[in-house]
Amino acid sequence: MAVFDAALRAQAEQVKARYPAGRERSAIMPLLYLAQSVEGHVTREGMREVGELLAITTAEVEAVASFYTMLRLRETGTHVVSVCTNLSCALVGANDVYEAAHEAAGIPHGEELSEDKLITLHEEECLGCCELAPVVQVNAANHDRVTPERIREIVETLRRGEVPEPARGPAIRDFKQASRVLAGVEVPT
């Protein structure tokens, strides 16, 4: 397997074992997160191998993978920056933050990936942190009450190869690490 090497395959088996016998298909989302943690997004080969691990077809895997926005089927930056523009955030300035993010990352409207492939910018629906709006996540780590100045700093920090300190919880190195954490195979320090 090109995506799941021997070590990852062993982890995949552990993930499957979380679910009742005969119900291993429940592991499809964590397995897709594992595939994503290798390639930065879920590729066709990743889906084929997940299908092989679960004894289902690639088409069945794709039906699931294509449903969920955090499983990314397109080429994705090292970091995923998500800016919430839903109502609670919009009421306190999220639009300006989103515009500043586009500008700082050098990503034109209608596109999501920066030219250097460092950042994927995602206009996000509610991130469930509405009392701390406007909310931004970098690789699913939260930044509270973000201003346009702050989002520019966050982008600059990523450009320097550093990880911006989140408001709470551990810093997540990159989107691949976030995917491993979400697969439940890594606990960041």
Partner 1 sequence: VSEPVRVLTAHWDDPSVIPLKGYEAAGGYRALRSALAMSSGDLVQVMKDSGLRGRGGAGFPTGMKWSFVPQDTGKPTYVTVNFDESEPGTCNNRELVEREPHALIEGTAIAARAIECHTAFIYVRGEYLWQGLLVQRAVEEAYAAGYLGKDIMGSAYDLDIVVHRGAGAYICGEETALLSSLEGFRGQPRLRPPFPAVEGLYESPTLINNVETLMNVPHIVANGADWFKSMGTEKAPGTKMFTVSGKVERPGNYELPLGTPFGELLELAGGMLGGARLKAWTPGGSSTPFLTADHMDVGLDFESISEAGSLLGTGAVIVLDESDCMVEAARRLTEFYAHESCGKCTPCREGTWWAQRVLSRIEQGYGREADIPLMADMGKNILFKAFCALADGAVSPIQSSLRYFMDEYEAHVREGRCPVTGVGPGRAMQDAAGELSVDEVVEAIP
DSSP-based three-state secondary structure for 44? helix
| Strand spans (E) along 36-118 | 79-84
Which of 116, 120, 123 lies closest to 99, judged by CA?
123
DSSP-based three-state secondary structure for 36? helix
The answer to whether residue 53 forms part of the interface with partner 1 (CB under 8 A) is no
- Check if the beta carbon of residue 155 is closer than 8 Å to that of residue 102: no
The answer to whether residue 20 forms part of the interface with partner 1 (CB under 8 A) is yes
Two tokens at 87? Answer: 């109502």
The answer to whether residue 133 forms part of the interface with partner 1 (CB under 8 A) is yes
The answer to whether residue 43 forms part of the interface with partner 1 (CB under 8 A) is no
Contacts with 10 (C-beta within 8 Å, 6 or more apart), sequence order: none
The answer to whether residue 120 forms part of the interface with partner 1 (CB under 8 A) is no
The answer to whether residue 98 forms part of the interface with partner 1 (CB under 8 A) is no
How many Cβ atoms from other residues are within 10 Å of residue 110's Cβ? 6
Q: Residue 124 Cβ, how far from partner 1 at the closest point, in Å? A: 8
Query: Among 23, 115, 149, 156, which residue sits at the site for partner 1 (rule: CB under 8 A)?
Result: 23
The answer to whether residue 184 forms part of the interface with partner 1 (CB under 8 A) is yes
Residues engaged in binding partner 1 (CB under 8 A): 18-20, 23, 25-30, 32-33, 54, 63-64, 67-71, 82, 85-88, 90-92, 125-133, 137, 140-142, 166, 168-170, 172, 178, 181-184, 187-188
